[in-house]
Structure 1
């Protein structure tokens, strides 16, 4: 069994029961589609994995995390939960140099440390639909952001982290292309318009029939402004109320 297959199996055993998926890629695949300013500084064959959270993460990982761990004051609760599970991954591989890069991490110039949607695309995890995928688009000079779609969950998922095994090379890893769920130009246009113009209503997430989607509780949580999420968790009984100062 090759190193990348064994590592992927171990990562899946650790993370899948908690609602996380992992997909392998070579750093070179990622760097090849980006400008040098966004490159990751590892040899091209270096093994990495992108980590997604799927709808079941909320019940399998997040709510148990809230029950058993004290939240830090200045960090988003979901981010704390993800970081906890990534720490368990690092414990599983104590002899490996494992770098964890989270979706919210930025360089001092505010540039993201990893373009997560690009990582998801090159790993085959989800198709990153962008304006360049629509040769004759209707938007003129308007800026349009791209969005990833998962073949099973549509838009009901999130890209949480990239794991880089800095000292492991995987030259034999074969690239799996992401499944193009929206070959129709009209469907792609509709997706990008829903995402760019009305992302709050979540319609872009249902661009294809999902295998599973967020529960009402989870949808409400993510629709709540970050500054108000702890209060929501307290009202739902997931957290003890903060003591009055």
Structure 2
């Protein structure tokens, strides 16, 4: 069944209405945009014109979604509390907004049996126009010789103070050329600033300076900084100190929060 632009706007609009109240953003994309920049082994197994939506968390998510989630539901089992919160809100949005509709939901922390991620979060954010994914190849005359430098996404409004949380694929919804691919805002255009960004992210990511590469409209609160600065194994103890009492049956399994790029972020 082909979907018109109105269908796309209806899907993204209802998701936005549901999730923006608790600190998330949503951006539509075509599966083909994503697959076209990746090798076949990393492709999503859907037609190129299938609709997908990438979900980001903003600085507001911690106070608007995470702390209320802990108050109402608490932590369960070994999985990371942030991951539990994101899954709760995204799955609730899907079940409430699209009852009976097949939606393939993939979270940033999930792996396939091959140990590859279920989706490449930063690639999805870039091709949707949500955030520019700055990589080593985006720097001319690189000063790093043969060293491998990991890339990082920069949001035009939040800088690095955000995270990419999920990808929703609507396998039964196809879109045509009426959904045009937006270019992600290039908010770090100079070579010098890109070098500064990648070096800060790769060599000093713990000090979070890379997040301020552009002036953000909102930062993480002090409480949120305290949480993500705490080693994952100690985060349950921190939540207990804050008055949340999760079951004491182990440590969180995931680090969750560096834009899902493997450095353990928030």
TM-score (norm 2): 0.89
- Report whether the alignment pairs 1:166 with 2:174: no
Matched, 1:108 2:83: no
**Deviation of 1:64 (Å):** 0.3
Give the conservation status (yes or no) of the 8 Å contact 2:74–2:246.
no
Residue 198 of structure 1 aligns with which residue? 204
Contact 2:75 2:246 in 1 (8 A): no
Name the CA distance, whole Å, in 1 between partners of 2:226 and 2:248. Answer: 24
Q: In the alignment, what sits opposite 1:231?
A: 237
- Spell out the pairing of 1:69-218 with structure 2 (5 A cutoff): 69-91=73-95, 92-171=97-176, 172-218=178-224
What secondary structure, in the 3-state scheme, does the structure 2 residue paired with 1:140 have? coil
Residues 76 and 247, structure 2, Cα contact 8 Å, conserved in 1:
no
Residue aligning to 2:264: none
> What displacement does 1:155 show?
0.1
2 CA distance for matches of 1:213 and 1:126?
Answer: 16
Secondary structure at the counterpart of residue 164 of structure 1? strand
SS at match of 1:64: helix
Deviation at 1:215, TM superposition (A): 0.7
Q: 2:200, 2:190 → 1: CA distance?
A: 16
Q: How many residues are treated as equivalent by the alignment? A: 243
Shift of 1:108: 1.5
Map 1:13-24 onto structure 2 (within 5 A).
Answer: 13-24=17-28
Aligned pair partner of 2:33 in 29, 34, 41: 29
Cα RMSD for the two superposed structures: 1.2
Point out the more displaced range, 105-114 or 13-22. 105-114
Q: Within 2, Cα distance between the matches of 1:147 and 1:243?
A: 35
The offset of 1:95, in angstroms, is 2.6
TM-score (norm 1): 0.97
Deviation at 1:70, TM superposition (A): 3.1
- Unaligned runs of at least 5 residues, structure 1: none
Give the 3-state SS of the residue equivalent to 2:111 in structure 1: coil
Task: Give the Cα separation in 1 of the matches to 2:70 and 2:247.
Answer: 14
